[in-house]
Structure 1
Amino acid sequence: MKLTKIATIGTLAISIAGLSACNNMMPTKSAAMTAPMHSQSMAKMNVVQVAQSNPDFSLLVEAVVAADLAGALSNPNANYTIFAPTNAAFAQALQETGMTKAQLFANKPLLTKILGYHVINSNMAMYAKDVKPGNVMTLSKDTLMVTSQGKLMDEMGRTTNIVKTDIAATNGVVHVIDRVLMPK
């Protein structure tokens, strides 16, 4: 995929405008959408604490801990944009790959690459209004596409719905997705 560079923010090349198409998506019900997530209380937590505060991200939190990324993602000086897959998304990914949770979590290089594919690190957190369709470079140095329909397309050609946006944290923002993103 060719990276369309509209603006450069630090080392991240990104197309900036508005991911407003996300607001037009048909969301699916999940605990991540129905659990109380009060933006004022979330804004006092870092992105890891936001994930820890919602039981529907327990597999994500477990994966972050298994990959030894909790400390790095708690960095108060960072501005992360996190695409957080729900527990149902992780279960679906395990089924698709034929791996068990133990196998995935034991393969630290693979787990780190997959988790890094869900993170964008830049000088500013990317809220839904800040992004438009195009390609972005992830922390894992892989390309992720935002489609014109406001979905994410991974390097495997699989699309993912963004079911909740703009959960503010002290070091970034979290967007809830319904599928684990897979780099090549």
Structure 2
Amino acid sequence: MYALVAGAVALAAPQAASAAKHEKETTQTAKACVVDTAKKAGSFNTLLAALKAADLESALRGEGPFTVFAPTDDAFKKLPEGTVESLLKPENKDKLKAVLTYHVVSGKVYAKDVVKLSSAKTLNGKEVKITVEGDTVKVDNAKVVKTDIEATNGVIHVIDTVLLPKDE
């Protein structure tokens, strides 16, 4: 009997340690707001430039909480040539804001909760469609490639395609 209990404890210990380590890592990584967390990642330079051009950077440094579906620099490269440059022009600031706020949902929505949704209302006022196909989660036509990146004022989910509101 003692060997059975000792064996169960030995088997459970690594799992408990792993869970504690994950919790500790998650807590430790949440030292910056969503903007600074994205900066540290190094793969969101286009998104960060767009947030600055749209005067949304300070808003996303605010209290939140926010859930950001963050397209990578490679996602922006998939857009037709000239699209990013056009959106970054001062005269297209309202359109840029509409596109960027379509990537943000109010509240802290983790992956385990995202997969239970069929849609989510964005700060743009429009809804993104959420689908789960096997192990793949999509927001509109963008595949979620990394989830639950903690920030002090929200959570970031990395996507491989820029989301465009239906009429943008």
> Which band: TM-score by shorter chain?
0.7 to 0.9
Give TM-score, length-normalised by structure 1: 0.70
Higher alpha-carbon Rg = 2
Q: Is 1:52 equivalent to 2:54 in the alignment?
A: no
* 1:148 Cα deviation after fit: 2.8
1:79 aligned partner, one-letter code: P
Structure 1 runs of 4+ aligned residues shifted over 6 Å read none
Whole-Å Cα distance in 2 between the matches of residues 101 and 130 of structure 1?
31
Shift, 1:40, TM fit: 4.4
Asked if residue 115 in structure 1 is aligned to residue 100 in structure 2, the reply is: yes
* 8 Å contact from structure 1 (residues 133, 148) kept in 2: no
Q: Which has the higher contact order (CA 8 A, sep 6+)?
A: 1
Q: How far did residue 133 of structure 1 move?
A: 3.5
Gaps of 5+ in 2: 1-24
Question: More helix per residue: 1 or 2?
Answer: 2
Give the drift of 1:41. Answer: 4.5
Secondary structure of the corresponding residue to residue 44 of structure 1: coil
Q: CA deviation at 1:101?
A: 2.9
Work out the number of aligned pairs and report it. 136
* Cα distance, 1:151 vs structure 2: 1.1
TM-superposed deviation, 1:54: 1.9
Which of the residues 165, 173, 177 maps onto 2:147? Answer: 165
Q: Aligned equivalents of 1:41 and 1:177: distance in 2?
A: 23
For normalisation by structure 2, the TM-score amounts to: 0.76
Q: CA deviation at 1:99?
A: 2.8
Alignment RMSD, CA only?
1.4
**Deviations 1:55-100 (CA, angstroms, capped at 9, x unpaired):** 210001000001011100000x21100000000101112x2xx434
In structure 2, the CA distance between the partners of 1:59 and 1:41, relative to structure 1 (3 Å rule), is farther
Secondary structure of 1:174's partner? strand
- Unaligned stretches of 5+ in structure 1? 1-37, 154-158
Equivalent-residue separation in structure 2 for 1:78 and 1:161 (angstroms): 24
Q: Give the structure 2 partner of residue 137 of structure 1.
A: 121
The residue number in structure 1 matching 2:64 is: 78
- Structure 1 SS opposite 2:50: helix
C-alpha separation between the residues in 1 aligned to 2:40 and 2:78?
A: 22
